[in-house]
A and B are shown apart, each in its own frame.
Chain A
Amino acid sequence: MLENHLLQIAYLIGSVTFIIGLKMLSKPESARKGNMVAAVGMFIAIFATIFLYQTEDGSHLKNYLWIFGGIAIGTVLGTFSAKKVKMTDMPQMVSLFNGMGGACAAIISIIEMQHYLHNHSGESLLNLQVITIILGMLIGSVSFMGSMIAYGKLDGKIKDRSLPGQKFITVGLLLGLLAFTVVFLLQDPAQAPTFMYILLACAALYGVVFVMPIGGADMPVVISLLNSFTGVAAACGGFLYNNSVMLTGGILVGAAGTLLTILMCNAMNRSLANVVFGAFGGGNAAAISGGAEGGTIKEITVSDSAINMSYSKKVIIVPGYGLAVAQAQHTCHELEKQLEEKGVEVKYAIHPVAGRMPGHMNVLLAEADVSYDKLLEMDAANDEFDTTDIVLILGANDVVNPAAKNNPASPIYGMPILEVERAKNIIVNKRSMNKGYAGIENELFFSNKTRMLFGDAKSVLQQLVTEVKAN
């Protein structure tokens, strides 16, 4: 009895640390401590479960060797991969770990379902316990497969693919999945194991189809959404075991994740439904060709760029995914320092969805030791462009595309952008004239104010640093 009391108190501590941890994570000065607080709470909850948990007949858990073996393997693998991953690959990593949680929830449901069938053989499946188990399984496996696909796409292993009529396939499959779940609950329990695996396969397939056509700027939204899915799957487990810490943790993340997802959609001025069913990457050919295509682009050499920047008063750098891919954040900081020595004011304009995750650019630049107060959020940056001599765009495209403001046919129409054309001059560094992730033409590149500086962001920046030094 005492043990059970202790366990409940450990769970209470765990739940409270999650809340405090999340709260602290939302303020820069306390964020790191907040992460620690939540980790300590998790540690307490896990070990209290191992040693204090009692099954219904009052016996302790067994298989300690397996439990500790699994935890040891997971800890070593998790620490190793989390420490080794490059800062630019963070989004993939978060997606991968999220998938692991989803898979964990799905497996728990599979085992519990078998338990249930064993203990209640022949009884109807239409009850809340089975519904909870099945929900955990479905959400967990959608989250797992979805996260794996998101991981593959961010890592460049999987290309965006969108089938004709994708919208209907996604919706149809979802309806089919729900209908099949109802069939599962109503059917003869003797068939349940077979049906369960079919259901599992369908959910996994749905996870694939759901994420497959979504690309580019929408990826962060999907990861955040899948993150909240896993939260809900964990909460299903909490219901199943009457476990308060699982329930609090899961629901907290489910709610917070959903809100974060919506905040991200708002930043792009799009609805969640539009992101999920819109297939940003492909299709929409009419809208794409509707833009101001053609025109001539004007190139600029590295040394001209360097001279222009050295003799200007204010330069604003707009980082994008290109900077992340080239791992050029340190070189970028170096250029910033060189320019400042020449008396040039240098700032960064950060679009909320630049890169592949919200705050992606902030994390990268923070790694390179770029000072906080140099980073301008979108609205502040837009006001400053008026007094800016040169805007240097490093591998950003969609977030500076004027089509978002003036072409109602464009798929990104309505998304708030960095209004770089308000500055006197614009230098765009890109690897080639390829379209941005959203697959649409950018008329900014054809503007009279714009000069193109082709090349990999890192090598271009290195050359710029050398040239600026020499001036």
Chain B
Amino acid sequence: MEILQFFSDNMNMVYIVILSIFLGIEVIEKVPSVLHTPLMSGANAIHGVVIIGSIIVMGQADNLLAIILGFLAVILGTLNVVGGFVVTDRMLEMFKKKKK
């Protein structure tokens, strides 16, 4: 009963999850193996979106422990996002040079 309640309360979420799963599979399916590494790296940067959670936590932190942990989480999340995108860009930069 509680499960059914949950599904109808969060129908949007459930739709997003299901459609995203199909989309994620669809998007990857036709990738040439040359691009596996950059793609993995790009996907790695995208899951850095978890940083938004750390910002929300940090922005509401009201005790020392939460502030310290939240601060750490923001740093780690940023590292994931920025490092991820920059590394991916560096890999792809090399591919571009090739097309003369």
Nearest Cβ on chain A to B29's Cβ, whole angstroms: 7
Partner among B6, B66, B83, B85 whose Cβ is within 8 Å of the Cβ of A100: B83
Interface residue? B72 (CB, 8 A): yes
Q: Does A367 contact B (CB under 8 A)?
A: yes
Q: Given A35-B85, A101-B44, are A250 and B13 also a contact pair (CB < 8 Å)?
A: no
Chain A residues within an 8 Å CB radius of B83: 77-79, 81-82, 93, 96-97, 100
Q: Would A78 and B44 count as touching, CB distance under 8 A?
A: no
- A90-B91, A366-B98 known; A22 vs B27 contact (CB < 8 Å): yes
**Which range holds the interface residue count of chain B?**
35 or more
**Contacting residues, chain B, for A370 (C-beta < 8 A):** 98
A173 within 8 A of B: no
CB <8 Å contact, B44 and A111? no
Chain A residues within 8 Å of B2, by CB: 128
- Stretch from A223-231, A337-345, A414-422, A435-443 at the B interface: A223-231
CB–CB A105/B53 < 8 A: yes
Contact-size category for A: 35 or more
Besides A100-B79, A245-B52, 14 new A-B residue pairs in contact (Cβ under 8 A), listed by A number: A26-B32, A27-B35, A29-B99, A32-B89, A35-B38, A39-B85, A61-B60, A90-B41, A111-B73, A237-B52, A254-B21, A256-B25, A263-B36, A352-B33
4 cross-chain pairs, A with B, having the tightest CB-CB distances, nearest first: A74-B78, A61-B59, A255-B24, A70-B74
Q: List 21 A-B contacts (CB under 8 A).
A: A22-B28, A25-B35, A25-B38, A28-B35, A32-B89, A36-B89, A38-B42, A42-B49, A60-B59, A61-B59, A94-B37, A94-B44, A94-B84, A97-B83, A101-B80, A241-B52, A267-B33, A352-B33, A359-B34, A359-B38, A363-B91
A contacts, CB < 8 Å to B: 14, 18-19, 21-23, 25-29, 31-32, 34-36, 38-39, 42, 45-46, 49-50, 53, 55, 60-64, 66-67, 69-71, 73-75, 77-79, 81-83, 85, 87, 90-91, 93-94, 96-98, 100-101, 103-105, 107-108, 110-112, 114, 128, 223-224, 227, 230-231, 233-235, 237-257, 259-260, 263-264, 267, 350, 352, 357-360, 362-363, 366-367, 369-372, 375, 377
Please give the residue numbers on chain B whose beta carbons come within 8 Å of chain A beta carbons, in ascending order.
Answer: 2, 6, 10, 12-13, 16-17, 20-25, 27-61, 65-67, 69-99
